[in-house]
Amino acid sequence: MELQRLLSLTRKAVDEYKMINEGDSIAVGISGGKDSLTLLYALSGLKRFYPAHFDLQAITVDLGFKDFNTEPVKVLCDSLGIKYTVIDTQIYDIVFNKRRESNPCSLCAKMRKGSLNDAIKKLGCNKVAYGHHKDDVVETLMLSLIYEGRINTFRPVTFLDRSGITAIRPLLFIDEADITGFANKMKLPVMGKKCPADGNTKREYVKNLLSDINKDNPGVKDRMFTAIQRSYLGGWERNE
């Protein structure tokens, strides 16, 4: 994917769902994966010409994995002129060593978001941008259907009551494959996967399931995404 297309699809999402307002201070949660790094690059580019002026910062919550080197991300942030903050935690030790969670993802995500939101408020940001893409939207819908018995997925814009922060998802019109291609082309400093639970989650199961369905029914993920947009799910009403 070319940079121009990345910026075009990012702006489309931002405009259609009113994600950014004048004077916003936006934190990008950087996990070190391709999605969050591509998002950082996209918002940095959008910032240069978007009519509503906004500030941008990058934050990484260090879970405490061994060999988790954030220096390459700092180099990228410096090149883009973006302030970068790393929050040190002991989440990995708590979840995997002390608690020995059989289902670690839920507790880990809760603790990670808590640390991230605390940091965002201390830095004076009013919004957080997540790197969720089109595939994430559809996968979350399938997870909800299969494991919860309801039709639901995350919203493009979500106000988080407990923290007073608004979460936005500017990459929701972009396919994961295109993000992978962009990250490779731009040689973004993607960190290797460190989590011991990676590849053994319900989300990974659903990702593989959708991939198999899409092979037999090409375009099914796009049609499911369109169905979400046309549904009555709260928060998915577009700004026409």
**Three-state SS annotation for 105-174:** HHHHHHHHHHHHHHHHHHCCCCEEECCCCHHHHHHHHHHHHHHHCCCCCCCCEEEECCCCEEEECCCCCC
Burial class (CB in 10 A: 0-12, 13-18, 19+), 214: middle
Residue whose C-alpha is closest to residue 132's, from 179, 92, 202, 63: 179
Lowest mean pLDDT, pick from 1-15, 45-59, 62-76: 62-76
pLDDT value at residue 51: 96
pLDDT tops 80 at residue 104: no
- Pairing assessment for the beta strands 25-29 and 55-62 based on DSSP bridges: parallel
Burial class (CB in 10 A: 0-12, 13-18, 19+), 179: buried
Burial class (CB in 10 A: 0-12, 13-18, 19+), 149: exposed
Region 94-120: what's the mean pLDDT?
77
pLDDT tops 70 at residue 102: no
Position 108 confidence tier, pLDDT thresholds 50, 70, 90: confident
Query: Residues 228, 237: contact at Cβ < 8 Å?
Result: no
CATH architecture of 3-135+152-194: 3-Layer(aba) Sandwich (3.40)
Position 90 confidence tier, pLDDT thresholds 50, 70, 90: confident
User: Whole-model pTM?
Assistant: 0.91
pLDDT value at residue 48: 94
Give the bridge partners for 88, in sequence order. Answer: 62
pLDDT tens-place string over residues 116-173: 888 999 999 999 999 999 999 999 999 999 999 999 999 999 998 888 999 999 999 9
pLDDT value at residue 194: 64
Instruction: Tell me if residue 102 falls in helix, strand or coil.
Output: coil
pLDDT tens-place string over residues 173-205: 999 999 999 999 999 999 866 666 666 688 889
Using the structure block, give the residue that is written with the tokens 């260090």. 62
Distance CA 112, CA 57 (A): 18
What is the chain's mean pLDDT, rounded?
A: 90
Region 9-32: what's the mean pLDDT?
96
Burial class (CB in 10 A: 0-12, 13-18, 19+), 148: exposed
Q: Dihedral sign, CA of 135, 140, 146, 152?
A: negative
Q: Measure the CA angle with vertex 81, ends 176 and 26; round to 5°.
A: 60
pLDDT value at residue 197: 63
Residue percentage of the chain with pLDDT more than 70: 92
Position 12 confidence tier, pLDDT thresholds 50, 70, 90: very high
Of these ranges, 58-72, 190-204, 213-227, the one predicted with the greatest mean pLDDT is: 213-227
